Amino acid sequence: MPYSDSRPPSPAVPATSAARTVRITEDRGGQRLDNFLLNLLKGAPRSLVYKLVRSGQVRINGGRVKADRRLEEGDEVRIPPVRIEDPADKGTPAKGLLEAMEASIVFEDPRLLAISKPSGVASHGGSGITFGVIETLRALRPTQTLELVHRLDRDTSGLLIIAKKRSALTELQALMREEGGITKRYLALLVGRMPEGTMSVDAPLHVGLRQGGERHVQVNAGGKPSLSHFKVLERRSGHSYCEVRIETGRTHQIRVHAQHIGHAVAGDDKYGDEAVNKRLREQVGLKRLFLHAASLEFALDGGKAPYVLNAPLATELVDVLDRLA
């Protein structure tokens, strides 16, 4: 039976015929330009937002900027004319996806909601995906204001935090920019035998675009500083089950750093070993990327409200480990 809810029809989103200027208030200070635009232009594809910035149609204080520019109080942002599809035209998420999102909630309080995101579900819509995590949660909670605090790769499972209050979103995003502000721990199966102990990988990462707009990340001296720590927990059939802590949150960081040290993440069809992935798929049923965001630790209210959030290892990954034993 198709899913439906009791929301009144969304009003049509009109086409804007002229550019407008938005002045940044104090509570938006520190937010990235791309995130600000995605929130302001709800329903606009990410590809469109980045195109508007790259082409110079979006400007700050009269000048061209990059999408990762941090906004400051008092900045004047030029927003070009944009036609956004009426959200009602997109329909509603499939019943199975709605149920999966409801079941994935692992923590909630008045400020935050945390889910254990399934592999294969995008954090947000765009690039041909209509409903990601945030769109589906908004369909489940139509009266609440929900904003993604951060993102996970589509193929990565695990802990994803959504803010229910603007103040929590602002504070968490500030913590993410601080060294040690948030402790992020992942679990991964790396191909081959890693050295005992902890290996730290300090290698800058550069995000490039391939034909068709696909992102491809590589270690490059001109990239952004990136630091990951890999610690072997167990050996499984010649492979290494590891805990990974990251001190930066770059695109595909763990996957590219793992490839860089010669021990790609198992099941990684982008940066991994195709032959090994095929063998793991046939022998132990690994049909996805073996990377899971296991925990986040941070404190809000200036350190007075500590949070330790956990997402148990996805069942299908537990099964793979059991078969590798």
Q: Chain-wide mean pLDDT for the chain? A: 87
Residue 230: pLDDT band (50, 70, 90) is very high
9 in any annotated domain: no
> What positions carry a catalytic annotation?
153
The answer to whether residues 315 and 183 belong to one domain is: yes
Q: What is the pLDDT of residue 17?
A: 59
Based on the structure, what is the number of domains in the chain?
3
**Residue 6 or residue 207, greater confidence:** 207
Tell whether the model's pLDDT for residue 228 goes beyond 90.
Answer: yes
Name which of 92-96, 132-136, 236-240, 282-286 the model is least confident about: 92-96
pLDDT greater than 90 at residue 225: yes
Residues 76 and 204 in one domain: no
Domain membership of residue 159 (yes or no) is yes
Are 116 and 157 in contact by the 8 Å Cβ rule? The answer is yes
Q: Are residues 158 and 189 in the same domain?
A: no
Domain boundary among 172, 201, 220: 172
Does residue 3 belong to any structural domain of this protein? no
Domain range holding 56? 20-83
pLDDT at residue 85 tops 90? no
Residue 5 resides in a domain: no
Query: What is the predicted pLDDT for the residue at 130?
Result: 73
Mark whether 119 and 234 lie in a shared domain. Answer: no
In 3-state terms, what secondary structure has residue 247?
Answer: coil
Last residue of a domain, one of 83, 107, 128: 83
Is the model's pLDDT at 19 over the cut of 90?
no
Residue 4 lies in a domain: no
Q: Is residue 162 part of a domain?
A: yes
Q: What was the pLDDT predicted at 6? A: 32
Q: Where are the beta strands (DSSP E) in 213-269?
A: 215-219, 227-236, 239-246
Q: Are both 66 and 167 inside the same structural domain?
A: no
pLDDT of res. 96: 87
- What are the angstrom distances between the C-alpha of 324 and each of 157, 230, 231, 279? 20, 20, 19, 12
Q: How confident is the model at residue 268 (pLDDT cuts 50, 70, 90)?
A: very high
CATH of the domain at 223: 3.30.2350.10
Residue 12 belongs to a domain: no
Identify the pLDDT of residue 84: 67
